[in-house]
A and B are shown apart, each in its own frame.
Chain A
């Protein structure tokens, strides 16, 4: 079954850290770029970070640059997001999403999303 399943969300204090994971199945994970997208409560979608199929390139939004690190383990079909120095405004559901095409010539639209994991940053 083609799916993405996120885990690792929870409640953390401001300044704390959390590591999210996304388990992929049903497709050749190592062929596709992957990303994290978040959605604050009652708000719209915000792209967070991208990693190329082989892990050789990464990009992140200005709002998380220097605090969040995206990584992947192609041997375990897993995508990760290490979140440090968390802020109240990082509270959101975090989705992992798959690039629609395997060729990294442009930033592609996303054809598969997980159900998300909730991160709450609160004292």
Chain B
């Protein structure tokens, strides 16, 4: 089973800044089967990115995903107030595993 480790655990930034979130896999992720989700308090997770770099429908282009193999990154180019949330990466394909999450908080 692939273990996903997200870093940092908490990221403190200001609106307008650039956010870079990391997700590292314990084994190579086949075919870039990696997704990113955003979750706000009391809400369900929302799909942002799949296939490591494809944005889901309606996701603003300030969100971008990159990476391959074992190292993946979610970048938010210019933070909006509504972007402060918890972000999870997920491996899919042969099984399901989630990373432990990165909390993006307002500095």
Interface residues, chain A, with chain B CB atoms under 8 Å away: 35, 44-47, 50, 95, 100, 106-111, 113-116
Q: A44: which of B33, B44, B56, B101 is its contact (CB, 8 Å)? A: B101
Q: In the complex, which residues of chain B have a beta carbon less than 8 angstroms from the beta carbon of A114?
A: 44
B92 at the interface (CB under 8 A from A): yes
Question: Can you show 29 pairs from A to B with CB atoms below 8 A apart?
Answer: A44-B99, A45-B39, A45-B88, A45-B98, A45-B101, A47-B97, A47-B98, A50-B96, A95-B45, A100-B47, A106-B92, A106-B93, A106-B94, A107-B93, A107-B94, A108-B92, A109-B33, A109-B35, A109-B47, A109-B50, A109-B90, A109-B92, A110-B35, A110-B45, A111-B47, A111-B50, A113-B45, A114-B44, A115-B43
A35, A45, A47: residue with the most chain B Cβ atoms closer than 10 Å: A45
Given contacts A95-B45, A115-B44, 9 further A-B contacts (CB under 8 A): A35-B96, A44-B101, A47-B97, A95-B44, A107-B93, A109-B33, A109-B35, A109-B90, A114-B44
- Assembled-state Cα–Cα distance A116/B94 (Å): 25
Q: Do residues B99 and A106 form an inter-chain contact, with CB atoms below 8 A?
A: no
Q: In the complex, which residues of chain A have a beta carbon less than 8 angstroms from the beta carbon of B45?
A: 45, 95, 110, 113
- Assembled-state Cα–Cα distance A50/B93 (Å): 13
B43, B50, B88: residue with the most chain A Cβ atoms closer than 10 Å: B50
- Nearest Cβ distance between residue A40 and chain B, in whole angstroms? 12
Interface residues, chain B, with chain A CB atoms under 8 Å away: 33, 35, 37, 39, 43-47, 50, 56, 88, 90, 92-101
Query: Which residue on A lies nearest to B100, using beta carbons?
Result: A44
- Nearest Cβ distance between residue A25 and chain B, in whole angstroms? 15
- Assembled-state Cα–Cα distance A44/B45 (Å): 11
Q: In the complex, which residues of chain B have a beta carbon less than 8 angstroms from the beta carbon of A108?
A: 92
- Assembled-state Cα–Cα distance A115/B42 (Å): 8
Q: In the complex, which residues of chain B have a beta carbon less than 8 angstroms from the beta carbon of A111?
A: 47, 50, 56
